[in-house]
Amino acid sequence: MDEEVLTLKKITIWFITCGVLFLGGCFNVDNTKKETKQPNQEDEQYISVQDYDGEGYTLRGGQDEAVDIAKQHKEKIVKAVEEFFLDNYKTEVKVNHFIGAKDAVSVTVESVNEPFFYSYAIVPVDFKSKTVATDRVFTLEGEVEQDIQTGLYAMAYEEEFSNLDRYLENMKSKYPVIGRLEVTYQNTNNIRGYATPFYFISSASYTLDELYDEYINEPSMSKSEVKKLFKRTPIDSKGINISINLFMEEENVEPNKEIFDKIIHDIESMKDLPKASYSIFLNDNFINAQTGSGKKDNTLSRKSPNKIIKK
């Protein structure tokens, strides 16, 4: 790798990582950034979660011009990124969105088939020549692998995740809480891996490496084979994080402590849930349009070092 490309990768990684780590629930870091200002309808930075589709999401140091240039080469970028994932990860993806990064564009993708996951790749942009370097597509080391691993985990424990999904849907029907629109995952990159409107999965780098290696060597393995693969390999629950993020349904309503406590109690007592460490957040109705995060001073949270561990 030439020095110019290496320098670009280091700079881009720093800026994108700053954006991605803004969201809570990841490993070894407390990612909940305190917001000194509470949102209201007049604050343009915040928008109701029901209306937020990722529009306005930005990366620190991101350049709008990079997106403008990328759009001029859309077909070329889409083809290059799709081929990149096929060649390097044996996975068919579809391109969703371009996000301006430092001297590059972040291209969000999602898998077409199981294992389902969201991820992204980075394409360098030359502002002087108004061109894109589709021969130098890259990703952040280990991140796509972890994104795929979370999809495999959901695949292997399909019934347990169905139990979690039913519980959260039931909470939505009985109480004034909601999740986020799935389109936000397509248009932002602060949440990756396997995700639903109510939660997303992340894994520590060491947890599923061996299982990933077996899968990537035989990506055509069936769901039953994936399940067998996981059953014969012990999984450290502390190495898998499920971050549940809920929002109040109505605007200008504080997060409800009784609802939050019920969710905590239920997750602690329920059986037949996926083995993992659980972080739980209940936000008000607003989401920061620039960061894609709902976390603020009034957010109720159960997180590291007091996550709920299901073994």
Do 89 and 171 sit in the same domain of this protein?
no
151 with 114, same domain: the answer is: no
Same domain, 166 and 238: yes
Q: Are 126 and 167 found together in one domain?
A: no
In a domain, 123, yes or no: yes
Evaluate if residue 120 carries a pLDDT over 60.
yes
**Residue 3 in this model has a pLDDT that exceeds 80:** no
Clarify whether residues 129 and 177 are in a common domain: no
Residue 210: the pLDDT is 87
Asked if residue 43 belongs to a domain, the reply is no
- What's the CA gap between 302 and 238, in Å, rounded? 15
Residue 64 has a pLDDT of: 92
Average pLDDT over residues 280-300: 97
Q: Please report which confidence band the pLDDT of residue 1 belongs to, taking 50, 70 and 90 as the band edges.
A: very low
Whether residue 302 is contained in a domain is answered as yes
Residue type, 80: A
Residues 11-32, mean pLDDT to the nearest whole number? 45
Give the residue from 139, 167, 194 where a domain finishes.
139
Residue 43 is predicted with a pLDDT of 65
Same domain, 158 and 294: yes
Contacts of 108 (CB under 8 A, 6+ apart): 95, 96, 97, 98, 99, 118, 119, 120, 186, 187, 188, 189
d(CA 52, CA 282): 17
221 and 89 share one domain: no
pLDDT tens-place string over residues 43-66: 668 999 999 999 889 999 999 999
pLDDT, greater one: 3 or 201: 201
Residue at 301 is within a domain: yes
The answer on pLDDT for 209 being more than 60 is yes
Say if 10 falls within a structural domain. no
Domain count, the chain: 2
Owning domain of residue 135: 58-139
Tell me: cis bond preceding 124? Omega within 30 of 0 counts: no
Q: What is the 3-state secondary structure (H, E, C) of 35-70?
A: CCCCCCCCCCCEEECCCCCCCCCCCCCCCHHHHHHH
pLDDT in the model for residue 27: 45
| Mean pLDDT computed over 144-171 | 97
Q: Are residues 191 and 78 in the same domain?
A: no
Do 107 and 153 have their domain in common? no
User: Is residue 176 located within the same domain as residue 237?
Assistant: yes
End-of-domain residue from the set 118, 139, 160: 139
Residue that terminates a domain, selected from 74, 107, 139: 139
* Percent with pLDDT over 90 in the chain: 78
- Inside any domain, residue 49: no
Q: Where are the beta strands (DSSP E) in the chain?
A: 46-48, 93-101, 104-111, 118-126, 131-132, 177-178, 199-203, 240-248, 276-283, 286-288, 300-302, 308-310
Does 52 fall in a domain? no
Identify whether residues 182 and 208 lie together within a single domain: yes
Q: Does the residue 198 lie in any domain?
A: yes
Residue 112 has a pLDDT of: 98
pLDDT at residue 206 in the model: 75
The 10s digit of each residue's pLDDT in 176-197 is 999 999 999 999 999 999 999 9
Same domain, 130 and 205: no
Please state the rounded mean pLDDT for residues 103-127. 97
CA distance 190 to 185: 8
